[in-house]
Amino acid sequence: MSGSASLAESSTGSSGALKPYLKRKKSSLGETKIAILGYEGVGKSECKYKHSAIVDGENTAFEILDTRSLSGDCGAREDVLRWADGFMLVYSVVCRKTFEVLRDLHKKIEEFRRGTTVPIVIVGNKSDLAHMRQVTQVEGLKLAAELGCPFVELSASEDVTKVVEAFHTLCRDIIDYKRRSRTFLDRVFGAFGREKPSS
Ligand SMILES: Nc1nc2c(ncn2[C@@H]2O[C@H](COP(=O)(O)OP(=O)(O)OP(=O)(O)O)[C@@H](O)[C@H]2O)c(=O)[nH]1
Distances (CA, A) of 169 to 20, 35, 154, 156: 30, 14, 14, 16
- Least confident span in 12-16, 56-60, 94-98, 190-194: 12-16
Residue 73 Cβ inside 6 Å of ligand 1? The answer reads no
| pLDDT tens digits, one per residue of 113-138 | 887 779 999 999 999 999 999 999 99
CA of 147 to the centre of ligand 1 (A): 25
Is 98 close to ligand 1, i.e. is its CB under 6 Å away? no
What's residue 17's pLDDT? 42
Centre of ligand 1 to C-alpha 17, Å, is 32
Which of the pair, 13 or 166, is modelled with greater confidence?
166
φ, ψ of residue 105 to 5 degrees: the values are -65, -45
User: Which pTM was predicted?
Assistant: 0.80
Indicate which atom in ligand 1 lies nearest the CA of residue 42: 19
Q: What is the mean pLDDT of the chain?
A: 80
How confident is the model at residue 18, as a pLDDT? 40
Phi, psi of 36 (to 5 degrees): -100, 120
Interatomic CA distance for residues 40 and 38, integer angstroms: 7
**Is the ipTM of this structure higher than 0.90?**
yes
* Overall average pLDDT of the 7-22 stretch: 38
157 lines ligand 1 (CB under 6 A): yes
Q: Is the distance from CB of 126 to CB of 155 less than 8 angstroms?
A: yes
Comparing 16 with 187, the larger pLDDT belongs to 187
CA-nearest of 39, 165, 170, 56 to 92 is 39
Angle at CA of residue 90, ends 181 and 179, nearest 5°: 10
How many CB atoms within 10 Å of residue 123?
Answer: 30
Asked if 118 contacts 86 with a C-beta cutoff of 8 angstroms, the reply is yes
126 lines ligand 1 (CB under 6 A): yes
Reply yes or no on whether the pLDDT at 24 is more than 50. no
Average pLDDT over every residue of 96-111: 96
Q: Identify the pLDDT of residue 190.
A: 64
Question: For 153-196, what is each residue's pLDDT tens digit?
Answer: 999 999 989 998 898 899 889 988 888 877 766 666 665 555 44
Q: What is the pLDDT of residue 116?
A: 78
Q: What is the pLDDT of residue 44?
A: 86
Q: Does residue 45's CB lie within 6 angstroms of at least one atom of ligand 1?
A: yes
